[in-house]
Chains A and B, each alone.
Chain A
Amino acid sequence: MIEEIQDAETLGTNPGDPLPQLPGHVSHGRFERVLRAGHFAVTTEIAPPDSADPDEVLTRASLFDGYVDAINATDGSGAHCHMSSLAVCAILTRAGYSPILQISCRDRNRIAIQGDTLGAAALGVCNALCLSGDDVGAGDHPEAKPVFDFDSVSLTRTLRVLRDESRFLSGRKLDLAPKLFIGSSINPFVPPIANRADQLAKKIEAGAEYIQSQYCFDMDVLKDFMSKAVDMGLTEKAYILIGVGVLPSARTAKWMRANVPGVHIPDNIIKRLEGADKPLREGRNICVEIMQQLKETAGVSGVHVMAYRQEKWVKDVVKRSGVLDGRVPWSPETEELN
């Protein structure tokens, strides 16, 4: 077993083949390995194409090669229709990537979600992120029926039942449990700010093993939140990754603040963008600075870079921030070098 693990570490495995599950790990995945090894992790988000073309998924993923540990496949984010997160993940696992399956409660009930979770694990997915989901009114099909059979907390617990008790909620046994590393989200930046750490505790109690947060543009609020989380012992129980974003202009920042639910951008950030000669460059500078501060913040285990329509800059900001400490995350290229 140990030899097999060492071989896998040094030689890699064929893309699509599951890695061996390390002792004390819940999944076969590379993302869990990075976090449990104590590295500062970097994840990002892939924009699923409005297309049936699998190559488009791989092209978009390749933008992040060598700079991210895992790629979130969004599940109809903003309640807009795109290729499904399950399909995006299946395409990515075939190329060896480590995708995070986002599961929203908006579109599917408990029967569909449990079935999809088994399917995802069967297709090589090792990570799931439990989200409540944006309301249908925010998207391009506002006339759709919102499902919300679960919320993110009940969903998290359900995935833990599938994995740890090897059964459906009904009690019916599974022949093989889905070995998933299970996470959820948190937004420390919107009301009730005083209770957001309590809510984090609830998500962890439900079974979240890692957390990815909403965009952080306000380090003061974040530091308060993290110090509460550390005091409550929550950072011992789950890995906290904080969301960061690349703002291209003051105009976009203002638009996001007004129109994207849950995005908090303080005035000083907007002023900085307004006053900059090259706002695009300044937006990346802000992102780099926040990443560097997060790396030094107690209890923060990594960053989640969300750069919608700015994906080509993810490499740049990760590189300049230095948060990887020279570590080179897996990519199909490093695989070939081996």
Chain B
Amino acid sequence: MYKVRLWSVRRSRFMEGLYNTVNPAIIAVLKGITKVFGKKLDKPITAAEAGLKGFLFDCQMCGNCALSKTGMSCPMNCPKTIRNGPCGGVRPNGMCEVKPEMRCVWVAAWDGASRMKDGDAIKSIDFAVDHREKGTSTWLKLAREELAEDAK
């Protein structure tokens, strides 16, 4: 939802804190679930992630989540899906060139990042999205990466 999305960016610092506390717990639970159930619960877990992040950020489930590096403003809501924005077409009032009724997601991103502890992460380059991961859960990806790391 657009209004909730703007709210999340305004509270980017709170969201960052929430993410930093809750995320490790989610990953730990998902590691446990993966150990017991394998991939059997992937569908409901992915749906839960899509539901929650969809509500808070209008998440598009690109599978390459960068929210913590983009001021809690999801770059996939940019009509050009720019990952290192903004483009040069932003309107003088900070609204999107393509959708004049929408605040530029990258104006929001730099604004959100300015309030975050690790806001400088926005200055690092986010290379193009891996389109194979569209629709997949970033949480499960992180959990499984950690499991693979643990197994080493």
Contacts and interface: CB of A to CB of B under 8 A. Distances in A.
Partners in one complex: yes
Interface of A: 105-106, 110, 132-135, 137-138, 146, 148-154, 157-158, 185-187, 190-192, 194-195, 198-199, 201-202, 205-206, 214, 261-262, 264
Contacts, number: 99
Interface residues of B, number: 29
B128 A110 contact: yes
A333 B81 CA distance: 45
B89 A154 contact: no
A191 B128 contact: no
B35 interface: no
A191 B88 contact: no
Interface stretch (B17-25, B91-99, B144-152): B91-99
Given A191-B94, A201-B123, A151 B89 contact: no
A135 B85 CA distance: 14
B125 A202 contact: yes
B123 A154 contact: no
Contacts of A146: 79-80
Contact of B84 (A154, A187, A191): A154
B27 interface: no
A261 B88 contact: yes
B80 A214 contact: no
A166 B82 CA distance: 26
B79 to A, nearest CB: 6
Contacts of B106: 192
A192 B127 contact: no
Contact of B92 (A110, A206, A264): A264
B90 interface: yes
Contact of A195 (B79, B110, B125): B110
A262 B97 contact: yes
B82 A190 contact: no
B97 A151 contact: no
A192 B111 contact: yes
B87 interface: yes
Nearest to A149: B128
A154 B90 contact: no
B86 interface: yes
Contacts of B83: 151, 153-154
B125 A191 contact: no
Nearest to A187: B88
8 contacts: A134-B89, A150-B128, A151-B83, A187-B87, A190-B92, A191-B92, A191-B104, A262-B87
A146 B123 CA distance: 26
Q: Which 9 A-B pairs have the closest CB atoms?
A: A187-B88, A261-B89, A153-B84, A154-B128, A261-B97, A262-B88, A151-B82, A191-B94, A195-B110
Contacts of A202: 84, 123, 125
Contacts of A214: 88
Contact of A192 (B80, B110, B128): B110
Nearest to B94: A191
Contacts of A148: 80-82
Given A135-B89, A187-B89, A261-B89, 9 more contacts: A135-B97, A138-B97, A149-B128, A154-B125, A191-B94, A192-B110, A199-B84, A202-B125, A205-B125
